Amino acid sequence: MENPGALAGATGAGQSEHAFKSKEYRLRAERATTLCLAIAECEPEDAAPILWEALDDFHRRGLPGAPLTNLMTHATEWAGWATESELKAYAVAAARRMPPATRAAFLVYLGGVA
């Protein structure tokens, strides 16, 4: 085959290549590269505490924090960035802790929301 690249465009390879060149992808790649270079330039005793704190912060992101606004606004904002697994876990745990009458009313309410 004289021009193997010609077939790539015909099979849609160009489309996936374009997706990797999106502005968001390039920005994320640039930030990750900058982070890696910065870490490599640090002394281990300087980098380690910062990295441990960052990892701990990433881990805590899934937990709802103390409300800074009214409770429902805070819960709505947290639910907007929580993972599906987190939403399910907190919803089930919360429902289980409700008194039976409150849980029954809550389930009726949910039936009307869906």
Reported as a single tens digit per residue, the pLDDT across 19-72 is: 567 888 888 889 999 999 999 999 999 999 898 888 777 666 656 666 666 788
Q: How many domains does the chain have?
A: 2
Is the same domain home to 111 and 85? yes
Amino acid 43: pLDDT: 93
Is residue 96 situated within a structural domain?
yes
Q: What is the pTM of this model?
A: 0.42
Range of the domain at 30: 14-60
Give the DSSP per-residue string, 45-105. Answer: HHHHHHHHHHHHHHHHTTS----SS-HHHHHHHHHHHS-HHHHHHHHHHHHHHS-HHHHHH
Residues 72 and 94 in one domain: yes
